């Protein structure tokens, strides 16, 4: 979800306002996914690199994350549609109140299986892989895992996204054409779509265009 700050700047608004518009766009996109029957949505909300931003901007983002997690507790869409929410990332790097809210909503929706909403917070693809290696090494040391038994499926089980399918489509807004440390293991065969539109300005027609482009591609998976 890229382009909140540039969107705000072009409209003469504050960076904080751009992030507020960005948060509201998540609500819209979730509705589009539900209407289209898209079962798994993962949004890249805050990377480990984003901690390098100004204290004021980070404070605003954390406030919005807390607000979103609190709203999810009573959001009828979440419970009526049985949407399981997962927070992916280094949760220990986040403020304690957000950690608590994240754990609460994940526990509350753990039994839901119809839809999946994954929110990548304090997330980094390389860091995820490093943590997976560390956990595998620990299990090898404990005798729970044998080196010869390590396969792609084994590695996937140690990632934040364990139990979820790899993404079919990666959509990035704002005109940037890179994945920026997002789901590096999981996107090995994902289709990529880059839009020039800033995230807060994303319209349903552009979202549908991305899906239509995906549908017209032939996925060979190396075959």
Residues 11 and 117 in one domain: yes
Calpha distance 125→180 (Å, rounded) = 9
Q: For 160-189, how does the pLDDT look when each residue is reduced to its tens digit (9 = 90+)?
A: 999 999 999 999 999 999 999 999 999 999
**pLDDT reading at 14 higher than 90:** yes
Q: Where are the alpha helices (DSSP H) in the chain?
A: 4-10, 15-36, 55-72, 76-80, 96-108, 125-142, 152-157, 204-215
Residues 79 and 143 in one domain: no
Which pLDDT belongs to residue 7? 96
What are the structure tokens assigned to 53, written together?
């931003």
pTM for the predicted model, two decimal places? 0.94
For the chain, the average pLDDT equals 96
Residues 98 and 28 in one domain: yes
Calpha distance 63→114 (Å, rounded) = 29
What are the structure tokens assigned to 64, written together?
């919005």
- Catalytic site residue 50? yes
Cα pseudo-dihedral 182, 185, 191, 197, rounded to 10? 0
Q: State the residue for tokens 């079962």.
A: 39
What range defines the domain where residue 140 resides? 126-158
Q: Taking residues 135-159, what's their average pLDDT?
A: 97
- Catalytic site residue 2? yes
Residues 33 and 81 in one domain: yes
What are the structure tokens assigned to 203, written together?
């319209």
223 lies in some domain: no
- Residue 13, SS3 per DSSP: coil
Q: Please answer whether residues 138 and 160 qualify as being in contact, where contact means their C-beta atoms are separated by less than 8 angstroms.
A: no
**pLDDT reading at 151 higher than 80:** yes
Confidence of residue 139 (pLDDT cuts 50, 70, 90): very high
Q: Per the residue annotation, which of 4, 31, 50, 166 is the catalytic one?
A: 50
Q: Taking residues 21-31, what's their average pLDDT?
A: 96
Residues 201 and 181 in one domain: yes
Q: For 60-72, how does the pLDDT look when each residue is reduced to its tens digit (9 = 90+)?
A: 999 999 999 999 9
Confidence of residue 223 (pLDDT cuts 50, 70, 90): confident
């Amino acid at each position: 979800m890229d382009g909140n700050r540039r969107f705000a700047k072009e409209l003469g608004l504050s960076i904080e306002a751009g992030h507020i518009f960005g948060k509201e766009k998540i609500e819209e996109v979730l509705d589009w996914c539900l209407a289209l029957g898209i079962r798994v949505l993962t949004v890249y909300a805050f990377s480990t690199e984003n901690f390098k931003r100004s204290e004021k901007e980070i404070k605003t983002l954390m406030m919005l994350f807390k607000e979103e997690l609190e709203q999810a507790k009573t959001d009828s869409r979440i419970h009526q549609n049985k949407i399981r929410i997962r927070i992916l990332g280094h949760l220990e790097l986040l403020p304690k109140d957000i950690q608590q809210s994240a754990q609460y909503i994940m526990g509350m929706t753990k039994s839901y299986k119809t839809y999946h909403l994954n929110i990548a917070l304090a997330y980094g693809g390389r860091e995820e892989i490093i943590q997976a290696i560390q956990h595998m090494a620990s299990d090898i040391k404990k005798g729970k895992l044998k080196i010869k038994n390590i396969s792609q499926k084994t590695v996937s089980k140690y990632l934040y996204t364990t139990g979820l399918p790899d993404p079919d489509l990666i959509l990035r807004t704002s005109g940037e054409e890179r994945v920026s440390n997002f789901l590096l293991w999981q996107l090995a065969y994902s289709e990529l779509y880059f839009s020039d539109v800033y995230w807060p300005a994303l319209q349903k027609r552009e979202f549908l265009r991305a899906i239509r482009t995906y549908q017209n591609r032939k996925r060979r998976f190396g075959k």
